[in-house]
DNA sequence: ATAAATGCAAATGATTTGCAGGCTC
DNA sequence: GAGCCTGCAAATCATTTGCATTTAT
């Protein structure tokens, strides 16, 4: 239910921005709203297909670009793998990637955010966007 | 002269690791040691060629992989552009990218480094490597 | 009705690789 | 001399795009 509500909210926002909601876009929005992980284009294509929606991979890419341009989703480009996507409803956060399992953990630290802005400001810059990724491994218990 | 000394130090380290120093590798090491910016594979290929060394692009890529595996250089993958490379002699640092000019500025902040480790530790992880990039724009003076 | 979106297949761009001949240690 | 390296061209992989056709508004 949560999923459908979120998908509808996205459609609402998109329509308001003048973006047409086609059958394939509606399907992709649902797959995205339902994803607890951070799927890439191919996985999204497979999920949409399994859900019975006829969508081409080209359209998946085109839709993802459009959704990103609208700020509805966020593209994640981790090292050495195809881009992944996540819905952008909650607040900003950074990512931790378990190099052994590939699992992605989200986190947010206000102090780091503030420090970044300070560093940029000290050098005469303002931050447009930033990327912070921690490639980690589970600590073995002593 | 600084350049030649650094190039020799790299060769020394590589030879010690059992890596053969061919004419093309020696040329690339010099181009890398001499680079004040953060060139990509194509630029390195062009510079080596201009310096009179016959090197194929394929070899540039193969050499860069080898050098990275030896820890002699570091690969940088910024958003939306081919990978860039920098020599890894000094200490670790992060990067700020001026989105208007493409200029890359290096910086280091101990507090951020420490905070990252703390965050990972709190969640039961240890950091293998990390990536922090600030995409910035010059602040206009008020 | 009409501009925007789709599917297909072909194009792109960065990077990698198979293979035959060269070169370093 | 043996095996790692190189150059070349072809292959890969993710992503993009041209074009004719469909579809949402």
pLDDT digits (tens, 9 = 90+) for A3-51: 888 899 888 888 888 899 999 999 999 999 999 999 999 999 999 999 8
Q: Quick one: A45 and A113 in the same domain?
A: no
Structural domain contains residue A141: no
Overall domain count for chain B: 2
Which DSSP symbol is given to B40? B
Distance CA B122, CA A56 (A): 42
Distance from residue B56 (CA) to nucleotide D9 (C1'), in Å?
12
pLDDT in the model for residue A53: 86
A139 to B127: CB separation less than 8 angstroms, yes or no: no
Statement: the CB of B25 is under 7 Å from strand D: yes
Task: For residue A99, give how far its alpha carbon lies from the nearest alpha carbon of chain B (Å).
Answer: 8
b/e burial code for range A62-75 (CB count within 10 A of at least 16 → b): ebbebbeebebbbb
Rg (CA), chain A: 17
Largest CA distance in chain B: 57
Q: What is the mean pLDDT of residues A68-80?
A: 93
A126 to B139: CB separation less than 8 angstroms, yes or no: yes
Domain span at residue A101 reads 94-136
Q: What is the CATH number of the domain that holds B65?
A: 1.10.10.10
Which of B126, B135, B138 lies nearest to residue A129, judging by beta carbons?
B135
Q: Quick one: B57 and B118 in the same domain?
A: no
pLDDT digits (tens, 9 = 90+) for B29-72: 999 999 989 999 999 999 999 988 889 999 999 999 999 999 99
Task: For residue B133, give how far its alpha carbon lies from the nearest alpha carbon of chain A (Å).
Answer: 5
């Amino acid at each position: 239910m949560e999923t459908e509500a979120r998908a509808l909210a996205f459609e609402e926002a998109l329509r308001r921005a003048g973006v047409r909601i086609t059958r394939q876009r509606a399907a992709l929005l649902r797959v995205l709203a339902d994803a607890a992980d951070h799927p890439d284009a191919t996985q999204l294509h497979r999920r949409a297909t399994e859900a019975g929606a006829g969508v081409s991979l080209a359209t998946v890419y085109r839709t993802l670009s459009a959704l990103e341009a609208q700020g509805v989703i966020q593209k994640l480009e981790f090292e050495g793998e195809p881009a992944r996507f996540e819905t952008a409803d909650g607040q900003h956060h950074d990512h931790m990637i378990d190099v052994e399992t590939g699992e992605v953990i989200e986190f947010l630290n206000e102090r780091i955010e503030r420090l970044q802005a300070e560093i940029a400001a000290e050098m005469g810059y303002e931050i447009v966007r930033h990327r912070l990724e921690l490639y980690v491994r589970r600590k073995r218990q002593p």
